[in-house]
Amino acid sequence: MIVMAFGKFIGQKEIKRRLSVMMQGEPSQSFLFTGPVGSGKRTIAGELAKALVCENPTADGACNNCNCCRYYDAGTLPDVVRLDGEESNIKVADVRRTVVSGSAMPPQIARRKVFLIDCDKLNEEGQNAILKSVEEPPAGVVFILMAADKSHLLPTILSRVIEFKLVGYSEEEIRSIVKTRYGDIDNGRLEFITDFSAGLPGKAIAMCEDEEFGELRDKIFDIMIKMPEKSYTDILYDDFAFWDENKSRVDDLLVFMLWVIGDIAMMLKAPDSADIRYKDKKDEIRGMISRHSYLSTTRLGNCATAVNEMIRGMNVNVNYESACCSMLLKVHKELRQ
């Protein structure tokens, strides 16, 4: 049995319902898929593009059997044009050449020509360049726009498109998505990734493929659990060196810090708690608590405050070295007697 295009998606039931209804009639010519990075908007937008060029589409999308579907899967269908750019911004000249001029040409193989455009990389000039085409698409031309944040899009563009807004995925949906790709994943790792992904399948999949992710998670735990025995020199040289080397992953490191702090606080109140994030480290947390009887939820709350101060600082571009050292020293002060 062939798995149809929309039916294979886990989650996003309302979007799939709307797409199914639309494919039973005459589809519109201008769409906008919105959702945060990792929400799957590019994937489902691509499947809509495939359905629109398919020779035998159904309410469930592309047939996956016809020549156009095979060409699409191979990336050789000339009637599906992607404009996303490798750089942060798509050049206006590329917009005019690819979209404005390209939309005036009829489809070569399929019954429609579809343009997939990453609007997060379009500045105002680039948006103005596609405006006329999106407002009045030529016959047989469809525009599928994608944006993590639609607030920067021109009102005139927003008024011409049908929006599909992706919603957050449930934990069970994230688990199903991950297990579909990585059937042999360890349950403990699966639970941690599900929790950390914050309802974003793209983030969950990236973590599965990121060999360093587990190492970073364990290193932060090790830094925290040993912090009461460390000296200021250890903090300012050894620990900061690790943070400096992994500056590009600071967002992940800060979340790990908060999770460790939260787990220690939870086990202070309920030693047998099953709700901690570092379930595989329960014995180590219990050992830390027994060695340092002075630890309290107040001290741990101060640690969390220090971490959150750094998070806020990163959002306003404070000096990384000073913010990081300050945070580590504040946490160290609270975890030492």
The fraction of the chain above a pLDDT of 90, given in percent, is 66
- Give helix 201-209 / helix 187-196 axis angle, nearest 10°: 130
CA–CA dist 139, 141 (Å, integer): 6
pLDDT of residue 16: 94
pLDDT computed for residue 86 by the predictor: 61
Residue 180 has pLDDT above 60, yes or no: yes
In whole angstroms, what is the distance from residue 56 CA to residue 188 CA? 43
More confidently predicted of 234 and 7: 234
The answer to whether 234 touches 325, Cβ cutoff 8 Å, is no
Higher-pLDDT residue of 103 and 162 is: 162
Is the entire prediction scored with pTM above 0.85?
no
Residue 273: what pLDDT?
87
C-alpha dihedral sign at 234, 240, 242, 243: positive
Cβ pair 20, 59 in contact under 8 A: yes
For residue 140, pLDDT over 50 is answered with yes
Residue whose C-alpha is closest to residue 232's, from 331, 105, 157, 119: 331
Percent of the chain clearing pLDDT 70 (strictly above) = 98
pLDDT grade for 280, boundaries at 50, 70 and 90: confident
What pLDDT is stored for residue 202 in this prediction? Answer: 92
Residue 87, pLDDT score: 59
Confidence of residue 2 (pLDDT cuts 50, 70, 90): very low
Q: How far apart are CA 88 and CA 86, in angstroms?
A: 7
In this model, does residue 5 exceed pLDDT 80?
A: no
Q: CA angle, 336 as apex, 330 and 337 as ends, to 5°?
A: 130
DSSP state of 97: I
| CB neighbours of residue 89 within 10 Å | 13
All residues at 6 or more sequence positions from 68 whose CB lies less than 8 Å from its CB, including other chains? 53, 54, 55, 77, 79, 109, 110
Residue type, 40: G
Neighbours of 190 (CB within 10 A): 17
Q: What's the rounded Cα separation, in Å, for the pair 97 and 99? A: 6
Comparing 80-84, 122-126, 210-214, 324-328, the range with the smallest average pLDDT is: 210-214
**Secondary structure (3-state) at 113:** strand
Query: What is the average per-residue pLDDT within 246-274?
Result: 93
CA distance 119 to 117: 6
Tokens, residue 57: 């589409």
pLDDT tens readout for residues 81-128: 998 866 567 888 888 888 888 888 889 999 999 999 999 988 899 899
Average pLDDT score over the chain = 91
Residue 320: in which H helix or E strand, if any?
Answer: helix 320-335
21-52: per-residue pLDDT in tens?
999 988 889 999 999 999 999 999 999 999 99
d(CA 27, CA 309): 49
